[in-house]
Amino acid sequence: MAKVIHEKNTCVGCGACAAVCPKYWEMGGDGKSHLKESSAAGDNFELTLENVECNADAANACPVRCIKIEE
C-alpha cells in the first residue's frame, strides 16, 4: 500500500499534478490542487492506494514539492 500526501498549504496552484495525473488530481475552486477522494489529516490531505500509479509523476511535476509518496 502507498500513501499519497498533499500539503495543501504549500500548493501554489500551478496545475502540473492535474495535467499529468487527472485520475487523482483536479484544480479546486480555491485555485489550489485537490487530491480526489482524499481525507483531511491535520493540515494535509491523504489517500491510501494499492498502487501509486500516476501520482509519482504528479509528485515529480510539482514545482514546490507539496506532494509526497510514502510506500
* Cα–Cα distance measured from residue 71 to residue 65, given in angstroms and rounded to the nearest whole number: 17
Q: What does the block give as the cell for 28? A: 479546486
CATH class of residue range 2-70: alpha beta
Q: What is the pLDDT of residues 13-66, one digit of tens each?
A: 999 999 999 999 999 999 999 999 999 999 999 999 999 999 999 999 999 999
Check: CB of residue 68 under 8 Å from CB of residue 5: yes
Query: What confidence score (pLDDT) does residue 33 get?
Result: 98
pTM exceeding 0.85: yes
Element (H, E) at 58: helix 55-61
